[in-house]
Structures are given as structure tokens and as C-alpha cells.
Structure 1
Amino acid sequence: MSSKFNNNPTAKSERITRLVENLYRNMPEIEPARAVLLTESYKETEGEPIIMRRAKAFAHILANIPITIRDEELIVGSSTLAPRGCQTFPEFSYEWLEAEFDTIEKRSADPFYISEETKKQLAEVHKYWKGKTTSELALSYMAPEAARAIEHNIFTPGNYFYNGVGHVTVQYDKVLEIGLEGIIREAAAELAGCSVGDGDYARRHCFLEAVIMSCAAVIGYAGRYAALAAKEAQQCTDAERKQELLQIASNCERVPAKGARSFQEACQSFWFIQQLLQMESSGHSISPGRFDQYMYPYYKKDLDEGRITRDQAQELVDCIWVKLNDLNKARDAASAEGFAGYSLFQNLIVGGQDEDGRDVTNDLSFLCIWASAHVFLPQPSLSVRVWNCTPHELLVEAARLTRTGIGLPAYYNDEVIIPSLMNRGLTLEDARTYNII
């Protein structure tokens, strides 16, 4: 009996091999740009509501942080100039980093290179943050016994004490469909409906203004990449790469401002959102969720209309997998030992069912599994939803990946998880659409 799935593995392009090699050529590096720009903004907004301060700082960072397009990449947007580099987040904490300035490059777990100039710049901006960090706020809420227990390593809040919390999956599908301009329109309409007589007017007004400002900042950031790609295309002498750069420029002019019209635009739009969530919040487990579901319509449309081949689509997915490993963060030495491997735990899950209980495995589900085999790196934390209607072909391809020893994918059982979620109060329809954080 023939399969309804085209489960013939796609080829790994040589581009992906070179992108991975470039990613791991040097030790990850700590860069100071975000911390410097954040501090500049915060100094100018003292006394304003904190949500507006955060939005203005985010906008200032995205308008001024150095940007780069790495050789050969098709999906652009990098938080640092150095591959696998990281920015710092002094609004959460900084004292642990200063204490490790001279050891972070030599530690056994997740070392980072940090230049003397970067140390100097960070030490200067850290002066502003004394008494203003979230870790200091958290400590102020603790009983003296709890603080002493942390000091003596009896327990530690670790990651969540020094960094953002994360653990979210956002509505990527909404951005892909209506773009950030659509979200701005929604926020502006709600803002217009606010009345100064409302009890929550001040809070809602500030929040909606911050939403509009933040979305506009991301659109401006994408525009910077469009301009950079166009400039590099003008200077490029290789005809094939020149065309790629022109396509990148076109993509970034369109998304994530507007809805995606093609699979490549959808990939680029997804990536800007994923990258900048991390840039803004320093969270853990900012997870793409059901990637094979919200990306599939763009893939299928392009495939059906002959605008893309499966191999070309596979290369784009592989490029996203590379980019997910480009994101990085520096943790304190104790947390680094507990979470060694520079992991950000970005969980991406394929398969499963829709709200009506129909299996939704599709061709992109397979491309995601093969992307993990091609790139062969820890991110994304690939997972597979399994249940009694999971196609045999998907289980076989997942098992092939397991046999490589990479430690992926993780398997999640719908027939246990869905009833468990219903026991917690979710409807059957909502429980069927779960993803893993």
C-alpha cells in the first residue's frame, strides 16, 4: 500500500555544512552593545512608567545595535556580530558577570570570550544599575534565612534569579497572517476606544502605546536588514549570491511588517520574531511550538504553484535550524554547569492532532525531522506528538533520528497529555492543540 506522504528524505545542501562550520569556528563571545544602548535609554526615561521605559529601550536598541548578514545565509537577523555570541542584560543582573570577568573564558562549562574593551564598557554601564535590577528586587522580598541559604549554596533560584524567565510560545501564526502592521492597527483601535474615565485607563493606555512602539521598532529593524542586504547585493560580484541578497532585501522590506506571501517570507518573519523575543527578554524556553502547522500553508501554496521545490524548502528550514543555534546567552558559572551546552531549550514540536481530533502530520513535519539530522545541533529541542493515529512513516523517521544518538526528538503522548490537560480545566478542543514549552 502506498503512503500518502512523500517521506523520501531531502538532500542536505553544502551551504548548511558551511554555515554550521562558521557557527562553531570560534568560541562564543560576549558583546556590550545591547547593555550600552539599554542604559542610554533608561537614563533618559527615568520617572516614566516602566512599560514605556522598556518599550523605548527596546526601540533604541533595535535602531542602533550593529547588524550583520553572515556569509551564505538565506534567513537573516543576528543578535551579535560574532556567531553564537551573546548580549548581556544588566536590568536583570550584572554582579555575577563582573565577578566572572576574568574566569568566564576559562571555565569548563559554556565558556565565553570577553575582550578587555567589553569588560571596560560593561563595568561602566553597570554603575547605573546598582539597586535597580530585578535580582536585587527579588532578594529584597526574601527572608534573611532564604538569602543566607542562597549564599551558602543550600539552594539557588539560578537562571530565574539572574535572567529573564521566558517559557512562552507566542502567536507566530498571527504575525505571519496579518504582520506587525496588523497588530499595530488592532492596538491603535483599542487605544482609540480607551476613556480617561476607565478605572484601568492609565495601565491600558501605556500598554497599548508600548505595543505599538515595540512593533514599529521591529519593523524598523527589519528595514535595516533590507537596506544592508540591498547594499551588499550592489557590491556583490557573484551573480547567484547577488540574487539571494536581493531576495533577502525584498523579504525584509515585506516582513514582519506585513503578512507573509511565500514560504521564504514566512521563514524570515518567523525568525525575526524568535530572535527579537530573546533580544528583549533574555528568557529560557522561548519555544516555536507547532511550527509544522502554522508554516505549512505557506509551504504548500508555494509547492503547489511551483514557486519552490522540496529541496529548496528543506534548505530554508535547515537555515532556521542553524539560526536557532546562533542565539546564545551567558549564565553564571553554577547555572552553566547545570545547563551545560549553551542551550536555550527552544522546543519545536511536530505531528499530533487538531481541535477536531484529526491527525495533522504533513510534509513539513518530515522536513523538520530531517533538518535536525542535517544540522545535527541541539537546537531546536525537537519533539514529536504521538497518538494512535500517528502515521507509521513519521514514527519511522523520528526513530531514524533517535538512532543517530543526537538525543532528539522527544516523544510526547497525546493519549496521556490531552486527558491530563482536561483534568486541569481545558476544553477537549484546546487540549488537543497543546505544544511543549
Structure 2
Amino acid sequence: MYKFRSATDRIELMHQLVRDRVIPVDTERVAALTKSHKKNAKVPPIIKTALATYDICSEMTCRVEDFEIIVGNIGKEFLGSGMWPEWDASWLWQELEEMKLWELWDDGLYHRTDPSGVHMSMSREEINSFMSFRDFWKDNTVTSYMDSWAPEGFEEVAGLGILEMGSKMRTPIHTGHLVAGYEKIINTGYHTIRKQAQDWIDAHKGNLMGNDVDKHMFYKSAVIICDAAINMIKHYGQACFDKANLCKDECRKAELMKMGNGLMWISENPARNFWEACQATIMYQILLYQEARHPALAFGRFDQYTWPFLEADLKSGSITMDEAQEIVDAFFLKSNCFYRASNPKIAAYTGVGVTYHHTTIGGVNRDTGEDATNPVTYMILETVGRLKLHDPTISLRINKNTPDKLWDCAIETTRLVGGLPLFQNDEVIIPSLVKELEFELRDARDYGIIGCQEIVGCGNDYPAGNGLHGKAGLGSHGNVLMTALNNGVNPSNGKKGGLQTGYLYDMKTFDDVKSAYKTQFDYLHKWSVTIQNYVENLSTFYAPSAALSISIEGCMESGKDCTVGGAKYNSYGGTATGLATVSDSLAAIKYMVFDKKLCTAKELYDAVMANWNGYEVLQQQVLSLVPHYGNDDPYADELMAWVTDIYYENCCECYSKRSKYYKAGLYGAAQHVVQGSVTIATPDGRNTGQPLADATSPGQGRDKNGPISVFKSICCFDHGRYMDGLALNLRIHPSALSTEEAKISLRDMTKAYFENQGMEVQYNVVSSDTMRAAQKDPKSYKDLVVRIAGYSAYFNELPTTMQNDVISRTEMNSL
């Protein structure tokens, strides 16, 4: 069995502080941003955004804690957060105006706690300061520009309540949902990048023709952003020196001086060692956050781009493995300090204390195709396992030569920390990137995972994998089906807006049912993509991203911002969750009405519209007699394959000005719970308000024949088509992994699934009894981690609806 080493005392101290997190909210960023925007009100957004980032980085507080060896903060306080009013801060202004959800504690701060687990605090001084900026930002947000106009027909279809963005064209977050070019930053340095931009400007002075004006503004924004980064990192270096001058402990003093010298170096130059590579990555992450509210800045293949530095350090004798492990621990704990203040309602989708710094490890060498496992790969799993971190999400790339030792480490991590790592299949993903998105083989081999499950290129791709500005797709595929069976009216809210596809009880054949669903889905999904195309058309002007663009391959070479297509690869996409609910519902209609004729279409329609009240016998027949997806039954699986194919084929017909690829995804954060809460009962026997099936997983409790049957069912469709990512959740009882033989069985079962062209799987190793005990006695299960769908979370920080959703999933007691 793989043995995890213990952490150092200062790592344990920082871990406890992070675990007991309260997010102090401050207005430092808001103040600097507002001042900068007022000063540069008439400046084009591409320059104005860069100047604002420079001003923010110049005025921000640079903290160094006594226990830190990796430094950096996005707020004024440790674990603190600024605000991004240029995107959306209306929820906080409203809350602070009413003060119903905030209360004064004995520490003199106002606290905002929430059943979801979000815990923020603000001083009265910060509250007053924040409120003073409200009038300026009321009509100056990116969202206000997007809301100003909409395509004809939008209001009616939006009123239907199925488009995820709701009734307005809101854009509360940036599109930045990707793997930035961390490798370029740490190997090139800001001075060289700045010089490249300035050289172009100097060479074209007084000679700007055609598109040169656009290039000039891009390169000028790059110069300003590099200056912002250099300035900020030097301030951190000075903060280390200042801390050292006050330090009486000679060992810590020397360490702080070394950190300060390292920061001064990487402010302009490439990293020279492992610590500098890790620290430079964090510094760049902070720069990106100070620029905009990027939603999911994944670290990509951290083990690959940092290992050459550690390898050199080990050969020179300048570092030990234990020292390197402490740096990795510190890096990921620092990542856990970037919980940005956000609307607690968003936690219903995205989880609590989730940074979405998805980190990809393992896989193959991009040049040779050989297994690329290295010591940092193990160190990352060690950090997650021994500290029981629920964040960031870790994806382990599996190939045919993945070492058994790494399998052992990964499965032991999974046993300790529910749902981590995720297992991704190189043998499916790499050739599919080449086939579906025309990636070069070298770049396909270098893919990373972002957000929940999205597959992207590392440092060369602007993928918009979760949609443009968070518009990920349709709000509920269950409601799409029910609208199709209710003549274009969403029965969940009684709103019109869909196509008139008839009523279930008027459909003469099962092909009529399928045709109604396909017609409604095609219409509503293309509306969803239409809105994404609309907002991108505007956001390329209002929301450029020089901080991202300086690191992404293609942008500096072409003189184009990543938001307008400067990256080497361009795509966008969305996600569908709950498709098993749709396919099981279709199976119920086919079986009960058309094949076995156990009820009429009108009886089934009436039962669903009545939420099965008065039709309990019929509901039990549906649940017990109808074949369900997840049990290796072709009757159900063929319909799941049909539903997923409909989705994929529609995506293939979608494109934008920037990208000819709209990628299909089968994953979700926790959308299946939220979407289910606003979805009427469905023909599969599900009641109103219950969660939909999550991602590609079977409906909760519907899979009865064990994990192998689930694996066979999910392979009923071609996973390689879904290049926006795919998620399969399986819950394993801990007793099923109680022996070494059982762990080998899990490894071999996963291998067999991957050999059958399965793309991804994630395991929750937790019993229903343990979760129910945690509901009754939360303090005794403080560190219990579970996988929801697109993120992991501490069980006790989940709302009851999500806790019950995990409990309701089938518990596999044997492999």
C-alpha cells in the first residue's frame, strides 16, 4: 500500500487556517479600479483594462505571512478577496444595503454566513467604502453593455426558463476558462515578452497601416501588463526583505532573504530553480485575477513544466525531496487561498471554497509519446492525500504505460479524498483532439483539463469550454423534453416560447416522440449558442485580456488578443447534464405506451403533470419494469446513445466568428441538482424538484447491476466526440477497497473500461452510513470529502439537497 508522509508543522498550520477559512472582503481593488477607470474614461477598453491592471498591481497590499514559503494574495488580508465590480457586484451592494444576511460579531466585523458554507466578513469601514462606489458602477459594468440589446425573439424564448442565462443577457464573469501559458511565463520571463511587444511598436512608429492599428493597441496593452507584473512581483520581493529585517530567527531571516532575491529575479527573468518556478506560477495567477474575474484558471500540467527545474536542483544538490514536497504543499495551499468573494447563490452550482485551479498530472511526453510520470506527479497526490484537500481538482492522465506505483498512489488518494483524482484516458482523448479539433499531435499529447472536465490545449488554446461568459448551455434538459411533450410550453413554469411540437397524448408513434424532442432541442440549443455568439461579439471589444494573451501561443506572434482569435487554437462549447433522465424518460414512454401498452400516452402524461400524485402504482411500474440506462441493457442504452448523438450533431452545426468548433460536453458542476429543482416530474418516474441524473451517470439509484454494467452502458456512445469533456461518477463503499487485492481490482476494472474506449471516471469512496452520520454530527466528520460532479467538496459544507443527492447514488459494495 502506498504510504503518505506527514507534513511539516508550518504546512499543518497553514492547512488549518485554510480549512477554517473566513473570506475577508476588502475594497482595495475596487478603489484602484474605479480611480483608474475615471482617469481613463475615454481610452479604448484594450488599453483601459491594461492600465487599470497596472494601477491595481501598483497599489495592492503585498503580504508575507510568518509561515509562508510561497507568497501571494488577491485581497488585502490573508485568505482575503477583493471585488470585481466591472463584472457584477450588485448582489453584494444589495445585501449590504439591506444588512439582513450580515451580523456583527464579537471580533468587530460583520459576518455573512450561508447554509452553503460561504463565510465572508467585512469591517464597517470596508462596507462604507464599498458602498461609496455603487453609483459609478451601476451602469458601467460589462453586463450593462450586454443587457442593452438582444436579438429578436430573445425575450420570448428566455421567458421559457430553459436557457441557462435566464431572462437577461447577463455576463457576470470573464470567459477566461482555460490553461494559461504558465510554462512560457516561467521559462521566458516578462522582460523578454515586454521587449517583443515594444520592438514591434518601435518598428512601426508612424507607420500603422491596415490592421496595424489593432496590433499596436494589442502590443501596447502587452507592454503595460508586463510592467504591471514586474511592479507587483518586485513589491512582493521587497515585502520579503522588509519581513526579514524584522525577523529574529536567523534561519527564517535567511529564507526570507532568499525568497526576496528570487522574487526580484523572476519579476523580469525566467525561473532558475524549482521554488522560483512554483512562485512565478502563483504570481502570474494573481496578475490574471487582478485583471478580471476569470472563472477557472487551471494550472494545467504542473508536474511537467516544473519537473525540469526540480530535476536540475536535485542533481546540483541544492534541494532535498522533503524540501521539494514542502514547496508543493505550500503551492497548493496557496492556491486554496484564492477563494474569491462571490454570490453565495452561485455555490449551488460551483461549490464552496472551489477555485477551479484544475491541475493535470501524468500522461505522456508531448514529444515522444512515452509515459511522462515524474516525482512531482507523486508529490501532488501526496499533497492532496495527506492534507485531504478537496481543491484544486486533480486529473490523472492514464496511458497504457502508466506505472503500477502511480495507480497505487492514485487509488489510495481516492480512498482518502473522495473523488480525487479524476482518471482521464489518453488513448481516447489524444487521437480525438487531432480528429475533432485538428490539434497537432504534439499539442494533443500536451492537453490539460480545466473547470469541471473540459479538455483543452495548454498555453495555446482559447477554448471557452463552459460557454462564453459562463453561458454553458441549456438550463434543464429535462425541461426541454417536457416542453417538447407539452406543445412548446414549459410545464414547470407555464411559460410559452418553445416550438409547437404537439402533446404526448397526440403522438401516434414513438418516432413522433423522438421527432418532437429533437425538434425542440435543436431549436433551443441553437438559441443558447446564438446568445453566446452575441455576447462574444460585444465582449471582444469590452473585455479584452492582455494578461492572458501575453502567455498564450499565437497572440504575441499575431498581434491579436486571445478574445479575438489570437490563440493558436480556438473553440467554444457547452455542457449537457441529466441526459440519462431524458433517455430513461424516452425508454419509459416507449416501453409503457408503445411496446408493452401498459398505459396510454394520456395516462402517462397526466401522471407526470400531477407529479405522480394519484398515479403511484403507475410510477412504481415505471421504476421497476422499464429498463434503465446504466445496467448494460440495450433497450435503454440505445436511447442514451440516440440522445447524446442528437446533442453532438447539433453542436457540429454551431460556430462563431472566432471559432468553427462548438464542442459538446457531458459534465456539470452541480447543475443536475439546481436544474432538477426547477424541473417538473419526468416520465422516468422522477418527482418534481428531484435532481436530474448528473453528467453521463445513470439516474440516482437506477443502476442495479454493479460498476461493470455501468461501464458497459456508458460506452454505448462514442466518447471521442465529446471534446468538451465527460464525467462519470461512481460511488464505492469503503469496504470494497479494504484490501490490496480490491485496489488492484479497481485498477484493472478501470483499465478495462479505458480499453473499451471509455474517456473518464471518478470514484466517491464513501458509505451512505458515513454521510448520514456526518449530517447528524458534522464536527466529527469535518474533513469528509465527496465528489459532486464537476468539483469535490467538504461534505458538511454542502447544502442538504446536495448531500442527499450524493447519498441517493448507487453504492457499489463490490467490484
Secondary structure of 1:436's partner?
A: strand
Q: Distance in 1 between matches of 2:393 and 2:299?
A: 10
Aligned position for 1:125: 133
* In 1: Cα distance, 2:152 partner to 2:83 partner: 29
- The CA distance in 2 between the partners of 1:8 and 1:298, in whole Å, is 25
> For 1:301-344, what per-residue CA distance to the aligned partner results, in whole angstroms no more than 9, with x for missing partners?
00011000000000001000100000012222331222221212
Deviations 1:247-271 (A, max 9, x none): 1111111113111111111111111
- Where does residue 401 of structure 2 map in the other structure? 389
Q: State the match for 1:418 in structure 2.
A: 430
Give a deviation string over 1:330-388, Cα, whole Å, max 9, x none.
22233122222121211111111123311111111111111112332222211100011
Deviates more, 1:70-79 or 1:303-312: 70-79
Q: Are 1:290 and 2:308 an aligned pair?
A: no
Q: Distance in 2 between matches of 1:99 and 1:81?
A: 23
Which residue number corresponds to residue 176 of structure 1? Answer: 186
What residue identity is the alignment partner of 1:106? T
Farther off after superposition, 113-122 or 171-180: 113-122
Cα distance in 2 between the residues matched to 1:405 and 1:295: 24
Give the equivalent residue in structure 2 for 1:18.
Answer: 13
Q: Which amino acid aligns with 2:211?
A: D
Q: How does 1:211-226 map to 2 (within 5 A)?
A: 211-226=222-237
Corresponding residue of 1:54 = 49
Say if 1:30 and 1:156 are closer, same or farther in 2 by CA, change over 3 A. farther
Kept in 1, the 8 Å contact 2:64–2:71? The answer is yes
After superposing the two structures, state which structure 1 stretch, 109-118 or 221-230, moved more: 109-118
Residue 405 and residue 177 in structure 1: after superposition, are their counterparts in 2 closer, same or farther (change >3 A)? closer
Equivalent of 2:390 in 367, 378, 392: 378
Task: Name the residue aligned to 2:58.
Answer: 63
- The 3 A distance-change label for structure 1 pair 106 and 15 is closer
SS at match of 2:233: helix
Which residue, 107, 110, 114 being the options, matches 1:107? 114
Which residue of structure 2 lines up, in the alignment, with residue 435 of structure 1?
448
The residue aligned with 1:96 is 91
Conserved 8 A contact 1:78-1:275: yes
* CA–CA separation in structure 1 for the residues paired with 2:158 and 2:114: 21
Secondary structure in 1 matching 2:352: coil
Report the CA distance shift for 1:373/1:405 in structure 2 as closer, same or farther (over 3 A).
Answer: closer
Is residue 321–residue 375 contact of structure 1 (8 Å, CA) maintained in 2? no
SS at match of 2:271: coil
Contact 2:399–2:426 (CA under 8 A) maintained in structure 1: yes
User: Would the aligned equivalents of 1:173 and 1:294 in 2 still touch at CA under 8 Å?
Assistant: yes
Instruction: Kindly state the Cα deviation for residue 427 of structure 1 after the two structures are TM-superposed.
Output: 2.7
What SS does the corresponding residue of 2:140 show, helix, strand or coil? Answer: coil
Q: What is the deviation of 1:33?
A: 0.5
Are the counterparts in 2 of residues 322 and 375 from structure 1 also a CA contact under 8 Å? no
SS of the equivalent of 2:23 reads coil
AA matched with 1:51: I
* Structure 2 counterpart of 1:79: 74
Measured after TM superposition, the shift of residue 75 of structure 1 is: 0.8
**In the alignment, does 2:166 pair up with 1:166?**
no
Distance 1:119 1:412 in 2: 45
Partner residue in 1 for 2:661: none
Alignment partners' CA distance in 1, 2:303 and 2:406: 13
Q: Is the 8 A contact 1:10 1:311 kept in 2?
A: no
1:307–1:8 CA distance, 2 compared to 1 (3 A): farther
Instruction: Answer yes or no: is the 8 Å Cα contact 1:383–1:410 preserved in 2.
Output: yes
What are the residue-to-residue correspondences of 1:255-266 with 2, within 5 Å?
Answer: 255-266=266-277
1:106 to partner: Cα distance: 3.4
Give the letter aligned to residue 175 of structure 1: I
In the alignment, the residues of structure 2 paired with residue 150 and residue 28 of structure 1 have an alpha-carbon distance, to the nearest angstrom, of: 35
Given that residues 24 and 83 in structure 1 are in contact (C-alpha distance below 8 angstroms), is that contact kept between their aligned partners in structure 2?
A: no
- Tell me, what secondary structure is at the counterpart of 1:128? helix
Provide closer, same or farther for how the CA distance between residues 380 and 417 of structure 1 changes in structure 2, counting only shifts above 3 A: same
- Write out aligned runs for 1:223-262 (5 A): 223-262=234-273
> Contact 2:378/2:409 (CA < 8 Å) preserved in 1?
yes
Change beyond 3 A, Cα 1:223–1:46: same
* 1:404 matches 2:411: no
TM-score (norm 2): 0.51
Shift of 1:132: 1.5
Which has the higher mean CA deviation after the structures are superposed, 115-124 or 65-74?
115-124
Q: Distance in 2 between matches of 1:153 and 1:111?
A: 30
What's 1:3 paired with?
none
Give the distance between the partners of 2:160 and 2:38, measured in 1 at CA. 35
Question: Is 2:184 the counterpart of 1:189?
Answer: no
Q: Percent identity?
A: 28
How far, CA to CA, are the matches of 2:340 and 2:283 in structure 1? 17
Where 1:353 maps in the other structure, the secondary structure is coil
Alignment of 1:319-398 (within 5 A): 319-355=330-366, 356-398=368-410
Larger Rg: 2
Q: Is the deviation greater in 403-412 or in 284-293?
A: 403-412
Alignment RMSD? 2.2
SS of equivalent residue, structure 1 residue 257: coil
Distance 1:153 1:291 in 2: 40
Tell me if structure 2 keeps the 8 A contact 1:139–1:147.
no
In structure 2, C-alpha distance between the alignment counterparts of 1:215 and 1:398, rounded to whole Å: 38
Distance 1:148 1:63 in 2: 47
Report how many residues are paired: 431
Match for residue 594 of structure 2?
Answer: none
Check 1:134–1:174 CA distance in 2 against 1; reply closer, same or farther (3 A cut). same
Q: What runs of 5+ residues in structure 2 fail to find an aligned partner?
A: 103-111, 451-815
TM-fit CA distance, 1:11:
4.1
Distance in 2 (alpha carbons) for counterparts of 1:150 and 1:336: 23
- Cα 1:98–1:153 change in 2 (3 A) is farther
Quick check: 135-144 or 112-121, which moved more? 135-144
Asked if the contact 2:50–2:291 (Cα under 8 Å) also holds between the matched residues in 1, the reply is no
Deviations 1:49-80 (A, max 9, x none): 11111111111111111221112100111112
**Higher alpha-carbon deviation: 22-31 or 86-95:** 22-31
SS at match of 1:295: helix
CA distance change for structure 1 residues 393 and 422 in 2, over 3 Å: closer, same or farther?
same
The Cα shift of 1:156 comes to 4.2
The answer to whether the Cα contact below 8 Å between 1:67 and 1:225 also exists between their aligned partners in 2 is yes
Counterpart CA distance in 2 for 1:65 and 1:106 is 26
The 3 A distance-change label for structure 1 pair 160 and 414 is farther
Match among 274, 284, 288 for residue 285 of structure 2: 274
Query: What stretches of structure 1 move > 6 A for 4+ residues in a row?
Result: 148-153
Task: State whether residues 51 and 210 of structure 1, in contact with CA within 8 Å, keep that contact through their aligned partners in structure 2.
Answer: yes
Structure 2 vs 1, CA of residues 399 and 189 (structure 1 numbering), >3 Å: closer, same or farther?
same
Contact 2:4 2:386 in 1 (8 A): no
